[in-house]
Amino acid sequence: MTRITLGSAVLRGTVATALMASLMSTSALGAPPVDLSKWSPEYVRSIAGTQDFDTAADCAKVTPLDYKGRLTFWYQGVFEGDPDLLRQYYKEFFETFRKTYPNIQLEEQALTYNDLLDKFRTALLGNAAPMAVRLQILGGTEFASKGYLEPLKPEDVGYSTDDFWPGAMKAVTWEDVTYGIPTNNETMAFIWNADIFKRAGLDPDKPPATWDDVVKYSKQIHDKLGIAGYGLVARKNAGNTPYRFMPQLWAYGGGVFDEATANPTYKEVELNSPQSKAALQASYDMYVRDKSVPVSALTNQQADNQPLFLAGQLGMMISHPSDYDVMLDLQKKATGTDKDKAQTVIDNMRYGLIPTGPDGKRAVVFGGSNIHILKPEYVEGGKVDEPAAKAIICMWTSPEWSLKMAYAGSNPGNLNGFKTKWMKERLDNIEFLDVTTSMLPYGIPFPALPQSPEIMNIIVPDMLQNALTGAMTVDEAADDAAEKVKDLMGGL
């Protein structure tokens, strides 16, 4: 398998790191465990495996290991699009927790990304929430702003705020108070099938440099081979949609607000700016004009693109490094000639940086998840076992487990995770990890606003669907979405 040459991309990444460092800097940044200004795949390799951590001993300082209590806990768990490897680590985590804290009665419940918010909101209305919850990065400010969460900072479970990505800390901060701790943070990468590229007359080792190239390549693949070029995703109420469209929107210079700038104010709505419309136009061109993407994009999630890619019916997509493992898992389930076909696709799977916009801007969603403790009045039974909650939070956000729980597809929320021996092992085992590590400097967090879940899960996908179905023109769809955001922000 050919590894892509990162060369110039890494160089640009280093330059962009300076931008990221300013983007993510906080005044609290004293002596960070890793030097973000030096961020590159080489730097990550240099620090991997340089420090040992004893999770049980560290967490014993927060909650004694013989502590007796009870904890209800909901978390965004693994779903059909995740690799089996991740399932194993989740299983191992809860087994280890029970062994480490044998006297804590843990009642955990896994929910999928798309179901968690709805269920959690409903539970809160009935004062039936769990004591602790691990939410997607979008959810933190919504629940913090409404007063459902207890203040919680890394120091409360034995870590330092400097141990975490400053950008991730913004997502758990509301009106200068911290309400949670990041568990994992991620940036995705661009994936393509070199064999399809070759057969379509494209350079198999050269990904599209810009989003305009993505549109061109997608058309060329479709016209030459009759298959889908790019794996567009535009389903509503699915996290996959903003994670794939926002990088495109930002690369063109657009945005919902000014979230892609160094010091966002979230004052002006920019969804209908010429740059945002250009990004929407690119999706329109692929879906409507060229018909070069899956027709099912409007009802698809990334989990639907994965089998298409493995079947050699899709040329390019945006996803995690974990998709490589997912492909291996799916290939194991294939039979007969399908197995060989799948192997050919896996052998030709390439990862690269997400393309830039016309002005050279490269962007990716700085995603992830956070863990929180609820206020007692919103919890079933009206009581929160805080030591028990802190015990599980300490373990999950430890260097060891924040890395293991993000092993295949993400990055540890706790930056010390990069120094562990498991990171070193991971760099050897997980293909293409370097690429997503290189994308971290381009990461842009979603706006840290309570309205963000609605904007990202409903308004942005609606805009895409309105344009792609012809229900509205590109201009109308962008204007309509901008108006909806203004209305939303006009409330309290």
Partner 1 sequence: MTIVTGKAEARRRLQPGRSGVLRKIWEHRADYAYVLPAIAVMLIVIAYPIYYTIELSFFKTPPGLQLRDKIFIGFDNYTTILASRVFWKVTWNTLIWTLGSTFISFVLGFAAALALHRDFIGRGVLRAILIVPWVISAVAASYIWRWIYHSDFGIIGAVLVGLGLADRPPNFIDSVSTVLPSLIVVNIWREFPFAMIMMMAGLQTVPEQLLSAAKVDGASAWQRFWHVTFPHLRNVSTVTILLLAVANFNSFIIPWIMTGGGPSNASHIWITHIYELAFGRQLWGVASAYSVLLFLILMTLGYFYVRALSGNERKEGTA
For partner 1, what does the binding mask look like between residues 311 and 330, x meaning CB under 8 A? x-x-----------------
Q: Which is nearer to partner 1, 380 or 454 (CB)?
A: 454
Measured from the CB of residue 280, what is the shortest distance to partner 1 in angstroms? Answer: 14
Nearest to partner 1 of 1, 295 (CB atom): 295
**Binding segment for partner 1 among 88-96, 139-147, 387-395, 401-409 (CB under 8 A)?**
139-147
Q: How far is the CB of 291 from partner 1 (least distance, A)?
A: 9
Query: Minimum distance from CB of 472 to partner 1 (Å)?
Result: 8
107 burial class (0-12, 13-18, 19+ CB within 10 angstroms)?
Answer: exposed
Report 440-479 residues binding partner 1 (CB under 8 A): 450-451, 454, 457-458, 462, 465-466, 468-472
Rounded to whole angstroms, the Cα distance separating 327 from 431 reads 12
Give φ, ψ of 210 to 5 degrees: -125, 170
Smallest separation, CB 466 to partner 1 (Å): 5
Q: How far is the CB of 233 from partner 1 (least distance, A)?
A: 12
CA distances from 147 to 17, 182, 221, 413 (A): 35, 19, 51, 24
Q: Is 146 in the site for partner 1 (CB under 8 A)?
A: yes
Q: Does 297 bind partner 1 (CB under 8 A)?
A: yes
Q: Copy the structure tokens of residue 213.
A: 């190239």
Q: Is 408 in the site for partner 1 (CB under 8 A)?
A: no
Size of the site for partner 1 (CB under 8 A): 39
**Interface with partner 1 by CB under 8 A: which range of 49-57, 143-151, 204-212, 250-258?**
143-151
177 near partner 1 (CB under 8 A): no
Query: Residue 444 Cβ, how far from partner 1 at the closest point, in Å?
Result: 22
Q: Is 145 in the site for partner 1 (CB under 8 A)?
A: yes
**Shortest approach of partner 1 to residue 454 CB, angstroms?**
5
Q: According to the binding rule CB under 8 A, does residue 483 interact with partner 1?
A: no
CA distance 348 to 413: 31
* Binding span for partner 1 by CB under 8 A among 61-69, 121-129, 196-204, 356-364: 121-129
Question: Cβ 488 to partner 1, closest distance in Å?
Answer: 7
Question: Does 228 interact with partner 1 (rule: CB under 8 A)?
Answer: yes
Q: Check residue 128 for interaction with partner 1 (CB under 8 A).
A: no
Q: Would you say 347 and 1 are in contact if contact means Cβ atoms under 8 Å apart?
A: yes
* Whole-angstrom distance, CA of residue 90 vs CA of residue 99: 14
Point out which span in 37-45, 141-149, 162-170, 206-214 binds partner 1 (CB under 8 A).
141-149
CB of 159 to partner 1, least distance (A): 29
Distance CA 288, CA 465 (A): 11
Tokens read off for 483? 């108006």
Question: Cβ 29 to partner 1, closest distance in Å?
Answer: 29
CA nearest neighbour of 467 among 289, 318, 304: 289
Contacts for 354 with CB less than 8 Å, ≥ 6 apart? 188, 189, 190, 247, 251, 318, 362, 363, 364, 439, 442
Quick one: which segment of 49-57, 71-79, 212-220, 235-243 binds partner 1 (CB under 8 A)? 235-243
Q: Which of 45, 224, 236, 424 binds partner 1 (CB under 8 A)?
A: 236
Question: Is the four-CA dihedral 444, 291, 210, 278 of positive or negative sign?
Answer: negative
Binding footprint of partner 1 on the chain (CB under 8 A): 118, 121-122, 125, 142, 145-148, 228, 234-237, 294-299, 308, 311, 313, 450-451, 454, 457-458, 462, 465-466, 468-472, 488, 491-492
